[in-house]
Amino acid sequence: MLAILFAPLRRRLTGTLRNNHTMAALATLLIVVVLVIVPVTFLIVLLVQEASDIYQGMREGDMSFASYLRQILDVLPAWAVSLLERFGLTDVNAIQARISAGLARMSQVFALQALNVGQNTLEFLVSLAVMLYLLFFLLRDGDEVYMRVRAALPLRTEHQRELSRRFTVVVRATMKGNVVVAVVQGALGGLVFWFLGVHAPLLWAALMAFLSLLPAVGPALVWLPVALYFLAAGALWQGVVLIAFGVFVIGLVDNVLRPILVGKDARLPDYVVLISTLGGMAVFGPNGFVLGPLIAAMFIAGWDLFAASRTGSG
């Protein structure tokens, strides 16, 4: 996917470096490391630190979500409280018990991961080295590999051309549409949380980025309860600012950016993106964030292509 995304840059560098494909691939690889690998690694380290701080705060009692919920319930109208009661969301003691049970499970997971940290670090470094090694050759020899794959496919030439075009379009659209929109929404949410003094803004930004896959609501599942807490705690201007920013800035990013980045041809329905992303992450792990929608998009593309072919031949 990185080879496809950065192929246009590699072609430009190849022309600039007088058709030296090896140097162009190395230069592109360096750019990928600087622009993608290093920032993502740095953000992951900060994210783990913030998650650890929140975990310690909850374990030591410095943070009590039950008290936050009680303050929110005190300012909600009666009909809203009645609606929450139907779902069992007003029993503060029960919620506190669930959080405590969750913390106990989290402590077990952290203890297990601590024992395997050396092995996990080695596996990560090996996987990263293999990925960069393969990426270099895909950047350098990608055009030749592409032609060999096309020649080996048992499909008509026009089908090969169309499927390869759709594959490239879908990879770029998936990365730019889903990932970029999620990153932008998460970054904006984290920025306003940092401005308003919310604890662990990077962790909430990551959660909002993931929830941006949910149609309609998305990041509002994070910033709206925080805004309600501000209003309940008497921080009126913080609550109003967060609601206005969430509705008019974070909420409009998807409607403004996604059509520009993806376009109409490669855009998947929201429910397909949601289901394929969750299914992809269940099967492939974190890589399923991209692989799931990619597989779904290619299946739909193949379906449309061969359906049109059969209709035309009939």
Instruction: Tell me the residue type at 277.
Output: T
Compute how many other C-beta atoms are within 10 angstroms of the C-beta atom of residue 270: 15
Q: Is the pLDDT of residue 284 over 80?
A: yes
Residue 149 binned pLDDT confidence (cut-offs 50, 70, 90): confident
Alpha carbon separation from 99 to 64, 102, 108, 203, 241 (Å, rounded): 9, 5, 14, 18, 29
CB-based contacts of 213, cutoff 8 Å, min separation 6: 178, 182, 273, 274, 277, 278
The string of pLDDT tens digits covering residues 287-297 is 787 788 788 87
At 263, phi and psi to the nearest 5? 85, 170
Residues 214-250: pLDDT tens digits?
Answer: 655 678 888 888 888 788 777 888 889 988 998 888 8
Which pLDDT score is estimated for 314? 45
Instruction: Identify the band that residue 26 occupies on the pLDDT scale cut at 50, 70 and 90.
Output: very high
Q: 50 or 227, which is more confident? A: 227
**pLDDT tier at 31 (50, 70, 90 boundaries)?**
very high
Evaluate whether 49 touches 76 at the Cβ level (below 8 Å).
Answer: no
3-class secondary-structure state, position 266: coil
Mean pLDDT highest for which of 111-115, 176-180, 194-198, 231-235?
Answer: 194-198
Sign of CA pseudo-dihedral 293, 294, 299, 305: positive
pLDDT at 65: 61
DSSP, res 214: S
pLDDT(152) > 70: yes
Average pLDDT on 72-84 reads 69
- Residue 45 Cα distances to 38, 39, 48, 203, angstroms: 11, 10, 5, 11
**93-145 confidence digits (pLDDT tens):** 676 666 656 655 655 555 555 555 556 677 778 888 999 999 999 988 888 88
The count of C-alpha atoms lying within 13 angstroms of the C-alpha of 145, restricted to the half-sphere facing its C-beta, is 11
Question: Best-predicted range by mean pLDDT among 56-60, 110-114, 163-167?
Answer: 163-167
Q: Are 280 and 295 contacting, i.e. CB atoms less than 8 angstroms apart?
A: yes
- Which residue did the predictor score with more confidence, 180 or 266? 180
Cβ pair 54, 203 in contact under 8 A: yes
Domain positions in the chain? 157-314
Q: Is 36's pLDDT higher than 90?
A: no
Q: What is the largest CA-CA distance in the chain?
A: 72
